[in-house]
Structure 1
Amino acid sequence: MTDRNVSSSRHQDPRLGESGPSSGDVLARRLTQVVAGVFIVVGILGFIPGVTTDYDSLQLAGHESEAMLLGIFQVSVLHNVVHLLFGVVGLLMSARGVMAAAYLIGGGAVYLVLWVYGLVVGQEDQANFVPLNTADNWLHLGLGVGMIALGLVALRAVRGAIGSQTPM
């Protein structure tokens, strides 16, 4: 079998005698694992008094929660659980490069929608059930743009345009 017949998403590993993930696939998976891991850590930190200030005011949901992760980002139990679940989904989707890229791009889109939502609802609005403050809104914008950018890099890598040892 020649290099032209080998899919750009897999390559022959001479040590194993079988095809393994391409370097682009590995890159996409690692990017997603790092992002997902950060979400899990943030979700856990949201439940740790001291790291989360005013922890005794932590609410299940809603804008009434005055608990602040790192003293900056308004959090609730729901907010922390969402971070944990989002991280777990990322780890599960990191099993394959194309799924990893989809997680990053899709998750980035979700965070951009959340950013717009945070701009539309006020901090004291009953619709602010997550809860979100100004710092959260700016973080969501950064996460949305950053995750989509990483997702596009991951997608290009999976398709063989980045990190591939085989010609396209």
Structure 2
Amino acid sequence: MTNAMAHSRGRRNPADGRAPVRRAAATVGVIFLVIGVLGFIPGITTHYGDLYWAGHDSDAKLLGLFQVSVLHNIVHLLFGVAGLVLARTISGARTFLVGGGAIYLVFWLYGVVVDHASAANFVPFNDADNWLHLLLGVGMIALGLLTTRGLNRR
């Protein structure tokens, strides 16, 4: 019972030697890498011929739902690399999850405020992206905080 409690408080899991926050950051990083790569695969990305470098005119949609551009896919890839690099340490992993979550909340706010048909929507974002960004932001922050709970009390 004490092992399970220690694990839930951010201590190392004897099974793999990595703190939960590090595993969470690495997992999120891998997910971002996969999403970034999938954005460049025709079929998984519909209207692939309409994939532009950037801008609201890019009609390509990942899984037929999320509006993407080359720039948008690169952002996912960069977040993935950052997640894997920062997952090497507990503080880096927490920074990635909490800081990255905050950035995704800014993306959500930007997507809500900006007219999707305007040149200001340069990444681009659509309504599905906005909902996903909100969930990612809240989820990443929660992961960063919950998986490091109790670390400072030791």
Q: Give the TM-score range, shorter chain.
A: 0.7 to 0.9
Q: How far off is 1:155 after superposition? A: 2.3
Percentage of matched positions with identical amino acids: 56
Correspondent of 1:124 among 117, 127, 149: 117
Note the aligned Cα RMSD (angstroms): 1.6
1:26 aligns with 2:39: no
Matched with 2:59 is: 66
- 1:1-168 equivalence runs, <5 A: 22-23=11-12, 26-156=19-149, 159=151, 168=154
Q: Which has the higher strand share?
A: 1
Q: State the secondary structure of the residue aligned to 2:34.
A: helix
Kept in 2, the 8 Å contact 1:57–1:66? The answer is: yes
Counterpart-to-counterpart distance in 2, 1:76 and 1:154: 33
Q: How far off is 1:160 after superposition? A: 6.2
Aligned pairs, how many? 141
Following TM superposition, where does structure 1 have runs of at least 4 consecutive aligned residues deviating by more than 3 angstroms?
none
Q: Structure 1-normalised TM-score?
A: 0.80
Kept in 2, the 8 Å contact 1:28–1:154? The answer is: yes
Structure 1: state its 5+ residue gaps: 1-21, 162-167
Counterpart-to-counterpart distance in 1, 2:87 and 2:110: 28
The code of the aligned residue for 1:48 comes to I
Counterpart-to-counterpart distance in 2, 1:134 and 1:82: 18
The code of the aligned residue for 2:54 comes to A
Q: How far off is 1:154 after superposition? A: 2.5
Structure 2: state its 5+ residue gaps: 1-10
CA deviation string 1:91-121 (max 9, x = no partner): 0000101110110000000000110000110
Q: How far off is 1:122 after superposition? A: 1.1
Counterpart-to-counterpart distance in 1, 2:136 and 2:110: 14
Counterpart-to-counterpart distance in 1, 2:134 and 2:122: 18
Counterpart-to-counterpart distance in 1, 2:148 and 2:93: 8
